[in-house]
Amino acid sequence: MLFSKIEGQGFPLLILHGFLGMSDNWKTLATKYAEQGFQVHALDLRNHGKSFHSDDFNYQIMVQDVVNYCKFHHLTSVNLIGHSMGGKVVMLLATVYPELVNKLVVADIGPKFYPAHHQTILAALNAVDFSKKPSRTEAEAIVSKYISDFGTRQFLLKNLYWQEPGQLAFRFNLKVFNEKIESIGKALPFNNIFKKETLFLRGDKSDYILDSDFETILHHFPKAEIQTISNAGHWLHAENPADFFEKTIQFFQKKIIT
């Protein structure tokens, strides 16, 4: 079963993080949603955070993990937020299991194919040799040789933990990511369509959702609204959490017009 942090009472809201992320990335926003009357489930997807490791890693199987999670917790209708890779998971889930999904938010990712573009990040992570028992400071120094952006480094290094005294490790399954990186960018199958209310959010400094992608988005999600978050790149929920919260809470609290 997927690891999760559950907070609040009310209509269930599931939050799915992006590649190399975890439920902890959403802690502040999860509390805010809970305060607005949602039961928030911030999940760790397989091979991430505190969830189990597996050699199987593709969107179909990640969708099944979330569906199994909902069955286990007796959730029959949920709101979903998915960021980046998590957005790919929720898009597929909503189109395959529409009866399970009330409203859908997709953060800074589209249904199209994305070429593999995490090579530098993977190179940085693979450069950390845990057999030499590096300290946190030493691990950060190695990663900083590859990644100059402080925010990205901190996001990645949040995955460091003490596996045992004196021995650091990454929480995620780096071996499988090295092998299966191509599967992260997979497109939503052409015939997959979700006809309920959907909100796509993009960062104004991000190039993950282009104006030219709108047609494809509306093909798969005919009721989609597409909005832009200012002063934000790909990690829009972390870079402008106030606007992200405002736009999503308005969307979730709006009455559904049938």
From 160, 180, 200, give the residue that closes a domain. 180
Q: Which residues contact 202 (CB under 8 A, 6 or more apart)?
A: 108, 208, 209, 226, 227, 228, 229, 236
Q: Would you call 84 a catalytic residue per the annotation? A: yes
139 and 242 part of one domain? no
Please report whether residue 44 resides in a domain: yes
CA gyration radius, the chain: 18
Q: Cα separation of 196 and 98, whole Å?
A: 8
Please report whether residue 73 resides in a domain: yes
pTM as predicted: 0.96
| pLDDT tens, position by position, 44-84 | 999 999 999 999 999 999 999 999 999 999 999 999 999 99
106 and 198 part of one domain? yes
For residue 83, what are the β-bridge partners?
Answer: 107
Please report whether residue 222 resides in a domain: yes
144 and 97 part of one domain? no
From 144, 165, 180, give the residue that closes a domain. 180
Give the type of residue at 111: P
pLDDT at residue 121, rounded to an integer: 96
In which domain, by residue range, is 141 found? 119-180
Of the two residues 182 and 209, the one the predictor is more confident about is 209
The CA-atom distances, in angstroms, between 221 and each of 18, 58, 112, 174, 194 are: 21, 22, 13, 33, 5
19 and 141 part of one domain? no
Please report whether residue 38 resides in a domain: yes
pLDDT category, 116, cuts 50, 70, 90?
Answer: confident
Number of domains in the chain: 2
Please report whether residue 221 resides in a domain: yes
Q: Is 210 exposed, middle or buried (0-12, 13-18, 19+ CB in 10 A)?
A: exposed
Please report whether residue 258 resides in a domain: no
Catalytic site residue from 4, 84, 183, 206: 84
| pLDDT tens, position by position, 212-249 | 999 999 999 999 999 999 999 999 999 999 999 999 99
pLDDT at residue 256, rounded to an integer: 67
pLDDT at residue 258, rounded to an integer: 55
pLDDT category, 104, cuts 50, 70, 90?
Answer: very high
Residue 194 and residue 95 in contact, taking contact as beta carbons nearer than 8 Å: yes
104 and 218 part of one domain? yes
pLDDT at residue 255, rounded to an integer: 81
18 and 106 part of one domain? yes
CATH code for the domain of 236: 3.40.50.1820
Q: Is the pLDDT of residue 164 over 90?
A: yes
pLDDT at residue 257, rounded to an integer: 60
102 and 213 part of one domain? yes
89 and 214 part of one domain? yes
126 and 85 part of one domain? no
Catalytic site residue from 41, 220, 234, 237: 234
109 and 212 part of one domain? yes
18 and 53 part of one domain? yes
Please report whether residue 218 resides in a domain: yes
31 and 108 part of one domain? yes
| pLDDT tens, position by position, 119-147 | 999 999 999 999 999 999 999 999 999 99
Of the candidates 3, 68, 11, the one whose C-alpha atom is nearest the C-alpha of residue 34 is 11
- Which position has the token pair 């969107």? 59
Q: Would you call 48 a catalytic residue per the annotation? A: no
Q: Mean pLDDT across the chain, nearest whole number?
A: 97
